[in-house]
Amino acid sequence: MGWIRNIKEEIRVIKERDPAIHSTMEVFLYPSFKVMMHYRIAHKLYTKKQFFLARWISQRAVRKTGIEIHPGAQIGKGFFIDHGNGVIIGETTIIGDNVTLYQGVTLGGTGKEHGKRHPTIGNNVMISAGAKILGSFTIGDNSKIGAGSVVLHEVPPHSTVVGVPGRVVKRMDPSNPSEKLDHGHLPDPVKEDIANLQHADSELTNRMIEMEKEIRELKRQLKMKA
């Protein structure tokens, strides 16, 4: 894709996904636009093994936008970062098409190992604010990661993940991959587990009370027969 086509594509994606953008000129002030322009140049240099120059350009982008994308990362079409401050994308990250990230997202590794050490993000994935995806595994197509989640294991396609550590709480209908994630009303698996334990404890307590009553009644009957 040529440079002009890259610019037009970035403008289209940002205007399409951010209702706060009211004119094309505003896009040129947008952090996501700035960082992606820097990334495209840095990545091209990186593939040509001009590592220092690639990192120099990417670090300039960090200072301007607060978004750090390693030039070695592979990013598909239709990529969008909403707001974006604090976003970190590691060197061996692979991102599919039409992926959306919100502020504070980390696509990182779990140590100093070499080779593929960052996640692979499938197509049409949305990762909400503050989520951390750490390690070399895949987030399946059409999945959604809730705000503040810490994901340490592979996620199947069409899944919604929330919590620390992240857990799959919902499998979406594959025929409706555009289903929205309500950031303000995410499932709370820990709360649900506690509620289930409380319910089980309440049932057990009631059963013990009933058994104590039965034992007292049995003792009373035995005394009467005696």
Domain boundaries, the chain: 3-184, 188-226
- This prediction's pTM: 0.75
Each residue's pLDDT tens digit, 157-206: 999 999 888 888 877 666 555 556 555 566 666 667 777 788 888 888 88
The whole-number pLDDT of residue 221 equals: 78
CA distance 157 to 167: 13
Buried b / exposed e over 27-66, threshold 16 CB at 10 Å, is beebbbbbbbbbbbbbbebbeeeeeeebbebbeebeeebb
The whole-number pLDDT of residue 220 equals: 78
Q: Output phi, psi for 39, to 5 deg.
A: -60, -45
Question: What is the percent of the chain where pLDDT is above 90?
Answer: 47
Each residue's pLDDT tens digit, 74-117: 999 989 998 888 999 999 999 999 999 999 999 998 876 778 99
Each residue's pLDDT tens digit, 25-79: 888 888 888 999 999 999 999 999 999 999 999 999 999 999 999 999 999 998 9
The whole-number pLDDT of residue 173 equals: 61
The whole-number pLDDT of residue 163 equals: 86
Please answer whether residues 71 and 42 qualify as being in contact, where contact means their C-beta atoms are separated by less than 8 angstroms.
Answer: yes
Peptide bond into 31 cis (omega under 30): no
Instruction: Considering the domain delimited by 3-184, tell me its CATH architecture.
Output: 3 Solenoid (2.160)
